């Protein structure tokens, strides 16, 4: 296809453009074998660069810690080549989960899946269209995708778009299993500048990606880094750029919420008639807080069927897997059912003597820092924790990222924490319905 024919097709469709674009909007001529080899080589090289630059300690970039919010750390670094308008930012978070779960979360193999990914991560993305597939697993997955990105400050900064060369591959990091999703901007004829049609400013991404590394010291947890190295293509003040990028980098906190929603979507959900009747429980199954006789704050978890108080259950938005479409449903479930279903053997409860006839135990799924559950002589379990422990536990109580961040800020400020009780050791009287 000639360049003049490609330009004609583009002008013909420009008048009809609106977001989101249809999957077959772009006219995509076939790539030559030399172009495919070049794109694959560039994608692999960029993936290695992103991994090296994301290392906070012992890496090639002098990262500076700018802020800590809960268990998220926000970093800033200068551009390695001192290019004007180029910036580097990164956020790092530790969550419960596995590398495989994160790989499934970022699935964009087809345009349909790419649009579903955009719809879920809608805070920073407006649209996505997969243009070409360069390489497929098992070795690595290399694609060319067009993204439309929402400006964090719409009144001051225009929305952006870019054509990204994406590479996904697994690797080993100091003996631990790891995975990287690395992207960088490229120029391609089938996707010209869209400023005149959609008002999108074409940005330059030198290296963007998520790096996921499993923890060897704490099995069942992964560290996720979100790197952004870009040229914003404008003249906003530096403080505004850092403010906007901090807002964007906070999206890494949402990954923990999405992983928990995906776990709830696996297996079978209970019908309300299969749950334990609300009047059959005198206290919350998890925190053991007694219900008053006239209390209406009793809710069933649709995963395990137990009766809980409003502090131990929350609302989740899960994908219905049996409909064949990307439909999502709203359910109520407890935080215990959102944890990884098969904790490693190394994380069994450990008993340690503390004297005076009392016993302290570690939780089967402990938070990032130490949390002690102290058993008193009355056989009730009372939790005492520091503000950092409270921040880690609140990740299991909410699916609203904004509410999660507010709780992190309150806990970091040293506000009082709510005590709760450990669930009873005996199993529930009704079975848990799982596939």
Secondary structure, 3-state, the chain: CCHHHHHHHHHHHHCCCCCCCCCCCCCCCCCCHHHHHHHHHHHHHHHHHHHHHCCCCCCCCCCEEEEEECCEEEEEECCCCCCCCEEEEEEEEEEECCHHHHHHHCCCCCHHHHHHHHHHCCCCEEEEEEEEEEECCCCCEEEEEEEEECCCCCCCCCCEEEEEEEEEEEEEECCEEEEEEEEEECCCCCCCCCHHHHCCEECEEEEEEEEEEECCCCCCEEEEEEEEEEECCCCCCHHHHHHHHHHHHCHHHHHHHHHHHHHHHCCCCCCHHHCCCHHHCCECCCCCCECCCCCCCCEECCCCCCEECCCCEEEEEEECCCCCCCCEEEEEEEHHHHCCCCCCHHHCCCEEECCCCCEEECCCCCCCCCCEEEECCCCCEEEECCHHHHHHHHCCCCCCHHHHHHHHHHHHCCCCCCCCCCCCCCCCCCCCCCC
Confidence of residue 114 (pLDDT cuts 50, 70, 90): confident
Please check whether residues 218 and 269 belong to one and the same domain.
Answer: no
Average pLDDT score, the chain: 76
Please check whether residues 245 and 269 belong to one and the same domain.
Answer: no
Q: What pLDDT was estimated at residue 366?
A: 36
Taking residues 257-275, what's their average pLDDT?
A: 89
Please check whether residues 321 and 226 belong to one and the same domain.
Answer: no
Confidence of residue 350 (pLDDT cuts 50, 70, 90): very low
Domain that holds residue 169: 3-249
Report strand pairing: 160-173 vs 201-202.
Answer: parallel
**Tell me, what CATH number does 337's domain have?**
3.30.40.10
Residue with the bigger pLDDT between 354 and 215: it is 215
Query: Dihedral through CA 63, CA 400, CA 409, CA 411, nearest 10?
Result: -120
Please check whether residues 23 and 84 belong to one and the same domain.
Answer: yes
Contact by Cβ (8 Å): 222, 98: yes
Residue 426 has pLDDT above 60, yes or no: no
Q: What pLDDT was estimated at residue 427?
A: 42
Q: What pLDDT was estimated at residue 127?
A: 87
Please check whether residues 193 and 289 belong to one and the same domain.
Answer: no
Q: What pLDDT was estimated at residue 29?
A: 92
Residue 376 has pLDDT above 80, yes or no: no
Please check whether residues 162 and 139 belong to one and the same domain.
Answer: yes
Among the listed residues 248, 407, 251, the one whose alpha carbon sits nearest the alpha carbon of residue 314: 407
Residue 420 has pLDDT above 60, yes or no: no
State the pTM of this model: 0.70
Q: What pLDDT was estimated at residue 323?
A: 53
Residue with the bigger pLDDT between 281 and 236: it is 281
Q: pLDDT tens digits, residue range 160-208?
A: 899 999 999 999 998 999 999 999 999 998 998 888 888 898 889 999 9
Specify if 258 maps to a domain.
no
Burial 108-143 (b: 16+ CB within 10 A, else e): beebeebbbbbebbeebbbbbbbbbebbeeeebbbb
CA separation for the pair 311, 407 (Å, rounded): 13
> Last residue of a domain, which of 249, 280, 304?
249
% the chain with pLDDT above 90: 34
Among the listed residues 230, 181, 229, the one whose alpha carbon sits nearest the alpha carbon of residue 202: 230
> Last residue of a domain, which of 190, 224, 249?
249
Residue with the bigger pLDDT between 226 and 310: it is 226
Residue 102 has pLDDT above 70, yes or no: yes
Please check whether residues 401 and 286 belong to one and the same domain.
Answer: yes
**Tell me, what CATH number does 70's domain have?**
3.30.530.20
Q: pLDDT tens digits, residue range 34-85?
A: 999 999 999 999 999 999 999 998 888 999 999 999 889 999 999 998 888 8
Residues near 98 by beta carbon (within 8 Å), at least 6 away in sequence? 214, 220, 222, 340
Residue 274 has pLDDT above 80, yes or no: yes
CA separation for the pair 359, 389 (Å, rounded): 20
Please check whether residues 43 and 160 belong to one and the same domain.
Answer: yes
Task: Count the domains in the chain.
Answer: 2
Please check whether residues 245 and 362 belong to one and the same domain.
Answer: no
Q: Which two tokens stand for residue 155?
A: 């009144």
Does 318 sit behind a cis peptide bond, omega within 30 degrees of 0 on the bond before it? no
Specify if 376 maps to a domain.
yes
CA separation for the pair 81, 61 (Å, rounded): 11
Helix 238-249 and helix 251-265: axis angle, to 10°?
10
Please check whether residues 336 and 229 belong to one and the same domain.
Answer: no
- What would you measure as the largest C-alpha separation in the chain, in angstroms? 86
Specify if 433 maps to a domain.
no
């Amino acid at each position: 296809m000639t360049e003049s024919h490609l330009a004609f097709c583009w002008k013909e469709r420009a008048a009809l453009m609106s977001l989101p674009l249809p999957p077959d909007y772009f006219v995509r001529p076939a790539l030559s074998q030399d172009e495919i080899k070049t794109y694959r080589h560039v994608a692999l090289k960029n993936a290695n660069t992103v991994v090296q630059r994301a290392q906070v300690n012992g890496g090639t970039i002098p990262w500076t810690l700018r802020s800590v919010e809960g268990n998220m750390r926000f970093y800033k670094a200068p551009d390695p080549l001192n290019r004007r308008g180029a910036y580097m930012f990164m956020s790092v978070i530790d969550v419960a989960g596995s590398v495989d779960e994160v790989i499934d979360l970022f699935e964009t193999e087809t345009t349909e899946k790419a649009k579903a990914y955009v719809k879920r991560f809608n805070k920073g993305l407006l649209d996505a269209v997969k243009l070409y597939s360069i390489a497929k697993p098992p070795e690595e997955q290399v694609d060319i995708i067009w993204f439309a990105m929402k400006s964090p400050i719409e009144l001051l900064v225009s929305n952006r778009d870019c054509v990204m060369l994406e590479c996904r591959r697994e690797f080993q990091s100091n003996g631990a299993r790891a995975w990287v999703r690395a992207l960088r901007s490229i120029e391609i004829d089938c996707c010209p500048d869209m400023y005149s049609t959609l008002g999108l400013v074409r940005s330059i991404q030198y290296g963007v990606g998520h790096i996921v590394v499993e923890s060897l010291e704490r099995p069942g947890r992964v560290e996720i880094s979100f790197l952004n190295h870009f040229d914003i293509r404008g003249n906003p003040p530096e403080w505004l750029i850092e403010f906007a990028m901090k807002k964007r980098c906070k999206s890494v906190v949402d990954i923990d919420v999405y992983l928990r929603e995906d776990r709830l979507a696996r297996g079978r959900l209970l019908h309300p008639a299969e749950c334990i009747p609300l009047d059959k429980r005198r206290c919350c199954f998890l925190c053991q807080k007694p219900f008053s006789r006239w209390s209406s704050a009793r809710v069933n978890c649709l995963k395990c069927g137990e009766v809980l108080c409003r502090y131990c259950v929350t609302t989740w938005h899960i994908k219905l897997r049996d409909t064949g479409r990307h439909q999502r449903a709203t359910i109520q479930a407890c935080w215990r059912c959102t944890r990884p279903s098969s904790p490693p053997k190394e994380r069994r409860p450990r008993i340690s003597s503390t004297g005076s006839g009392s016993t302290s135990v570690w939780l089967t799924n402990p938070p990032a820092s130490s949390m002690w559950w102290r058993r008193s002589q009355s056989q009730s379990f009372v939790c005492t924790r520091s503000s950092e422990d409270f921040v880690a536990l609140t990740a299991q109580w909410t699916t609203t990222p904004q509410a999660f961040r507010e709780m992190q800020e309150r806990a970091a400020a040293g506000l009082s924490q709510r005590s709760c009780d450990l669930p009873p050791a005996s199993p529930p009287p009704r079975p848990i319905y799982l596939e």
